[in-house]
Structure 1
Amino acid sequence: MIKVAVAGAAGRMGATTCEAVEAADDMELVGRADPSLGTSVADVLEGTDVLVDFTLPDQVVANVQLAAASGVHCVVGATGWDEDELRAAVADRPGNVFFAPNFAIGAVLMMRFAAEASKVMSGAEIIEYHHPKKVDAPSGTAKRTAALMEGEVPIHSVRLPGIVADQDVIFGEEGQSLIIRHVTSDLASFMPGVLLAIRNVAELPESPVIGLEKLLWPS
């Protein structure tokens, strides 16, 4: 059994992750860390194999540094933190770190298709849509998509009630256009990717590893 603790357990993604872990036959939920629960990350590390972090951008690096230094592997779903800072914080730590800006399989396919289309289309722009409580803009998914594409890709952010997490990648060419769209209607869509990361983080060939595509299509 993989013993899992969740940081940000009282949040929307954290609570959904707790439910998914509890329903998995090969996992055991051993800790819920969240200020509203009166429990810190340090409180849940003992006896934990993997810490899943869905906290806030200003908390991620410290959480992951503490866990990885304790030999606990980390799966990070929170976005908006500094990648260079995290890499420095977990260098040569015994715990592995895996991060994905989006754990939905469809979103990873969208990014892969967009990267391919950008090689042959004249230009592209990204529009990402999220709920008003999302603290970072552009989203981690949009930034990751743009980074995988050829050329400069402008990103536009929309924050409105009623939206979970959607993204359009719009390509333009003379006489035609192409739109690659991913729509999320339920947080459950992220859970297969989260569970995949939990099951694989201990065996990563290097750390940190960024992007669910590294697990779906290992080279």
Structure 2
Amino acid sequence: MTSPSSSGQVGPAEAWQRLADGNQRFVSDQSRHPNQDAARRTALVNAQHPFAVIFGCADSRLAAEIIFDVGLGDVFVVRTAGQVIDDAVLGSLEYSVAVLSVPLIVVLGHDSCGAVTATRDAVESGEMPPGFIRDLVERITPSVLTAKREGNDDLTAMIDEHVRQTSTRLAESSRVIADAIDAGRTAVVGVSYGLEDGTASVVSTTMPLTAG
């Protein structure tokens, strides 16, 4: 099944609505699996026009195209453990905004996140993990500490806080992204995904999500 999509034809609210509709189909076991045929593959050989970029956790249970029921060329996907920002991530997101003109950035976290769990454990025990896992923990620590300062020791609250802080940090770290948000060309939506029921719930947004 093939359907058209072009970032030049939709705004941030409509882009989110497409993802929300796809997620609802996924949750209700009515996925359409659009844009996954040979015709779509051929149509994308010379150019791509994704309508959103999804910056999500690298967890194997968080396959963006599946949970939002989209296909080839629909979304530009960037993934790291715990959706941790680094220079490569910022460069990839700036490319999606400046070159591909995507109107929506989705920051996608999920419950039972191993990276946030490791960070909570490190904060509470005072023992840091070895190797480069330590770098992940250090970058997530501010989110865990904020949640704890607000009296939220629940892991889900820490994960939601990390999604919010990551969303905010994108604009703080990138002038390209900040300018696109200020001009209304791009919005950032923070989302938390439930592993059990498959629902993608909004936890933060830079603009109203009602199209039109």
Q: Same fold (TM over 0.5)?
A: no
**Greater relative contact order (Cα 8 A, min sep 6): structure 1 or 2?**
2
| Structure having the larger proportion of residues in strand | 1
More helix by share: 2
Q: TM-score, normalised by structure 2?
A: 0.32
